[in-house]
Structure 1
């Protein structure tokens, strides 16, 4: 096109998907161990093929199996042992499965009685290419320290329990108590926190972590009263700048299909890389 610059989309092959899923395994494992240490929960972090089975407490967003499909299919005995471990805690076995993983795994889980309950999208941004995101006036984003953790936590929890209604809803919704506990666990695991201020008022919070050159952009939320003012874009811009400074080549964000977060990510240059299906087997 004359007079315009065509942006090259970030293509996700199975190698990149495997890197991203390894980063997810590392994240879930770190937070799950932090939960056990912080709360004394009798949890577990059990390697399973290329992934991990995590129990961080009943009702925790970190109680699930992630990262499967890129290092062989678990045996029936391995799956049975994991299912029994979750059943012992009175919770279902929930598996997040990337569609770029081994297709034999989905068939194996279906044969064991797993039921499809939802999807989430993994979007990525090529950090080797410059992306200039405008930050609206009146918004300041900075790293957030322990001295303001409680007000930061209050804003993030409030944002989480009042999600945008656009798009497909999450397959499971967590109460405020579970979200608060999960955020305390992620803080204990060392995720970097960011606070956004709109005209001097704490309006939003977000998290950030790097693994194998993958920048994971997590936990972003804006208080309902401050939405549609550019807070999310400002927090995204700050984390992307830090990701580049840390030497990362890909930034990743996870959203619900068709959601406002999905829309905002694509507007900011993110490409849809792959989808994760949530497969659940009841005790």
Structure 2
């Protein structure tokens, strides 16, 4: 594929994943995420949480949309959105327009891709299980622990648990000596997949947990007919290195612009 093909595919599957993340969120009030096409852009807007830069984003904004900038911003009356900028739209005119409205480049993410192959898992002493209906609440407890003791109610669990064992959203738990060590997800959309939600508990880092989970998820993706898997990482991070070792290559580096 050409470079812009990867950009378009990633933008599409990333919006689908954002919809799912909104639906499964462990929050007191269910998210009301809207995905609104507006000219050449896509607006993500959460009516329950106007301050979230993840759930309130403008994607696909470029030079052809400059005249509509005020109209786009009017869709976010409570708080300014985040502009999720891919490099082919990041021109000098766009940058100046965003700066004039009080936006600054605040964060970047590297988006990667791989055409996966089944991998032979080496004996590591790790136990990797896919989350099932029976273990969904256990997995939610891992999520709660990873978030520093997030308060999770029975209503939140009842509303979210079914998302963690869907056939298009595979979640994995890696244990060491029977204790929670690491976890990650594989989202599926047709022949595309997306690795997400990678987390290793601090006491188990630098022991190969994520590399083992990446191999397992890529192997499972191949078994389901997936031809391309995408992910996003902080550039230069340990996760970036893990993905590169597994064969991932850079698709593009995007920039999040937020209001000062």
Which TM class, normalised by the smaller chain length? 0.7 to 0.9
* Kept in 2: contact 1:156–1:204 (CA 8 A): no
Query: What displacement does 1:60 show?
Result: 4.3
Structure 1 counterpart SS, 2:241: helix
Structure 1 counterpart SS, 2:76: helix
Q: Cα deviation per residue 1:235-271 (whole Å; 9 max; x = unaligned)? A: 1111111211222211112111111111111112111
- Whether 1:115 aligns to 2:104 is yes
* Kept in 1: contact 2:80–2:259 (CA 8 A): yes
Query: What displacement does 1:16 show?
Result: 1.7
Partner of 2:45: 54
Q: Report the Cα distance in structure 2 between the residues aligned to 1:36 and 1:262, rounded to whole angstroms.
A: 27
- Whether 1:144 aligns to 2:134 is no
Partner of 2:83: 95
Query: What displacement does 1:40 show?
Result: 4.0
How many residues are treated as equivalent by the alignment?
Answer: 249
- Whether 1:247 aligns to 2:225 is yes
Q: Report the Cα distance in structure 2 between the residues aligned to 1:264 and 1:243, rounded to whole angstroms.
A: 18
Q: Report the Cα distance in structure 2 between the residues aligned to 1:59 and 1:177, rounded to whole angstroms.
A: 20
* Kept in 2: contact 1:54–1:62 (CA 8 A): no
Q: Report the Cα distance in structure 1 between the residues aligned to 2:161 and 2:10, rounded to whole angstroms.
A: 18
Query: What displacement does 1:27 show?
Result: 1.7
Query: What displacement does 1:101 show?
Result: 3.9
* Kept in 2: contact 1:38–1:185 (CA 8 A): no
Structure 2 counterpart SS, 1:203: strand
* Kept in 2: contact 1:131–1:269 (CA 8 A): no
Q: Report the Cα distance in structure 1 between the residues aligned to 2:142 and 2:24, rounded to whole angstroms.
A: 22
Backbone CA RMSD of aligned residues: 3.4
Q: Cα deviation per residue 1:187-228 (whole Å; 9 max; x = unaligned)? A: 648532111122332322211112242211000111112222
Partner of 1:5: none
* Kept in 2: contact 1:17–1:100 (CA 8 A): no
- Unaligned 5+ segments in structure 1 are 1-10, 162-174
Superposition pairs for residues 1-283 of structure 1, below 5 Å?
Answer: 13-32=3-22, 39-41=29-31, 43-48=33-38, 49-55=40-46, 57-58=49-50, 60=52, 62-65=54-57, 67-69=59-61, 73-74=64-65, 76-77=67-68, 79-88=69-78, 91-101=79-89, 103=91, 105-127=94-116, 130=117, 132=119, 134-159=121-146, 176=150, 188=163, 190=166, 191-282=169-260
* Kept in 1: contact 2:54–2:82 (CA 8 A): no
Structure 2 counterpart SS, 1:147: coil
- Unaligned 5+ segments in structure 2 are none
Structure 1 counterpart SS, 2:247: coil
Q: Report the Cα distance in structure 1 between the residues aligned to 2:210 and 2:20, rounded to whole angstroms.
A: 26
Q: TM-score, normalised by structure 1?
A: 0.73
126 and 160 in structure 1: CA distance in 2 versus 1, 3 angstrom threshold:
farther
Q: Report the Cα distance in structure 1 between the residues aligned to 2:144 and 2:196, rounded to whole angstroms.
A: 13
Q: Report the Cα distance in structure 1 between the residues aligned to 2:24 and 2:250, rounded to whole angstroms.
A: 31
Q: Report the Cα distance in structure 1 between the residues aligned to 2:182 and 2:122, rounded to whole angstroms.
A: 14
Q: Report the Cα distance in structure 2 between the residues aligned to 1:93 and 1:250, rounded to whole angstroms.
A: 30
